[in-house]
Amino acid sequence: MNGALTAPPPGGATAAGALAGKAALITGAARGIGRACALAYAGAGADLLLTDIGHDLDGVPYPLGSAGQLAHTARLCQELSPASVVATAEADIRELDAVRAVVDGALDRFGRLDILLNNAGIAAPSGKTVHDISPDEWDLMLDVDVSGAWRMIRAVGAAMTGQRAGSVINVASTAGLVGYRHFAGYVTAKHALIGLTKSAALDFAPFGVRVNALCPGSVRDDDAAEGRMLTEIARSLDVPVAEHEETFLAAQPMNRLIEPEDVAGAAVWLGSDASRQVTGSTVTVDGGFTSR
């Protein structure tokens, strides 16, 4: 494995102690942005329940986060922050009973839940014009990327409103803000996730619970994070994998791809008390892509 994912250096939003005393549940934590966020949360002092599906799904043309990758994320977090409690659970966010079990497990272990980071999602099946998308492909995309987040929010809602505090962070995408050719299902799902964010923020505001959306741009597939989403998006667009970074880089105003740690830093800030007056917002980490 090349490179090493670490928490960002002290002094920023992810400085040690920014999440001390907080308990966080992170979905899609096995790899990629989820792993980067888990490490940043551990470095900031949070206790963690990390979850991922642990197996592949019919209809998704690439491997999903495995049980081994989830366990590896947990080990990295524990090594980074020995004082943190780090637990894992495999769950399919399409199944309400599984979601409830994960949330109940977190509440039993920590006594409270301060942060829900809804990171789990799929980018494919994609790469088709809208009229070529099958009903099953459409339903799968929405079930995972929108309804999965709703199920998690539904499951934590009573606990967070009861404790009158909490932060829900929905990882959307620049696809939630603009359109992309041949990605109608993904774009629809991410736009819907931002709509869910805004409505849930209003519902929860009287109880001191915040809900925000985090919109990454083109995130580099870091080897240490074992991310592969940008590669799979390139495949679905028939972009040569060997050239995919240069292809996506051409659309970046800052002439850099987003690093997983860039997204993780924003996720820590949204989970911390430093953002206590931020709710119903859409935070972009896209190097200026959506400013054009």
Q: Which residues are catalytic?
A: 186
CA 255 to centroid of chain Cα atoms: 24
Single out the residue of 289, 183, 171, 220 nearest to residue 2, CA to CA.
220
Single out the residue of 144, 91, 107, 134 nearest to residue 23, CA to CA.
107
Rounded distance between C-alpha atoms, residue 19 and residue 44, angstroms: 5
Rounded distance between C-alpha atoms, residue 262 and residue 222, angstroms: 12
